Amino acid sequence: MFNVDKIIVPTDFSDYSDSAFQKALDLAEACDAKIYLSHVVADAPDIFALDRFDKEGQKKIMKDLEKQSKEYFEEQIKKFPEAQKVDIETKVLRGIPSKEILSLQKKINADMVVIATHGQTAFEEFLWGNTASKIIRYSKCSVLVVRKPKYS
């Protein structure tokens, strides 16, 4: 039997992520599962090796981004009254989004990832890649891909 106890929901706090969070809430409520609502703060590129000059400034920026992410989590969760019925843990991760989500999946032994896709064109995906496609390709658990309805 297919059993779901731990669900990772990556979020960028967009409407697309709200759609994925809604699906995950429905699934978590039906399966009595825990949701790990996760946001990845991407590392800034090391252009000009600025980290050698202002490490404290970079730490402050990261701390501010993490604080802001926690506020965004609260706002996102408040949009869904049914979230009160589900065990939700928020996580702010740092690094490359696809790698951090896959690492979290392994660390908590997740049963499912519910992720939104922005519906990039094939050319856009070729140029920039796509977090959802990387997670689908390398995930060790089931992945539910949620598209925002085209005509909503």
Q: How far apart are CA 21 and CA 63, in angstroms?
A: 25
Neighbouring residues of 62: CB distance < 8 A, sequence distance ≥ 6? 41, 94
Question: Is the Cβ–Cβ distance between 104 and 93 less than 8 Å?
Answer: yes
Q: Indicate if the pLDDT at residue 58 is higher than 90.
A: no
pLDDT attached to residue 120: 55
Give me the percent of the chain exceeding a pLDDT of 70. 81
62-118 pLDDT, tens digit each: 788 889 999 999 999 999 999 999 999 999 998 889 999 999 999 999 999 999 987
pLDDT attached to residue 90: 96
pLDDT category of residue 48 using cuts at 50, 70 and 90: very low
Q: In what order do the strands lie in the sheet with 112-117?
A: 87-94, 34-41, 6-10, 112-117, 142-147
- Which CATH number fits the domain 6-147, given the four candidates 3.30.450.20, 3.40.50.620, 3.30.1330.10, 3.30.70.100? 3.40.50.620
pLDDT category of residue 128 using cuts at 50, 70 and 90: very low
Mean pLDDT of the chain: 85
Q: Which two tokens stand for residue 101?
A: 């989500």
pLDDT attached to residue 59: 77
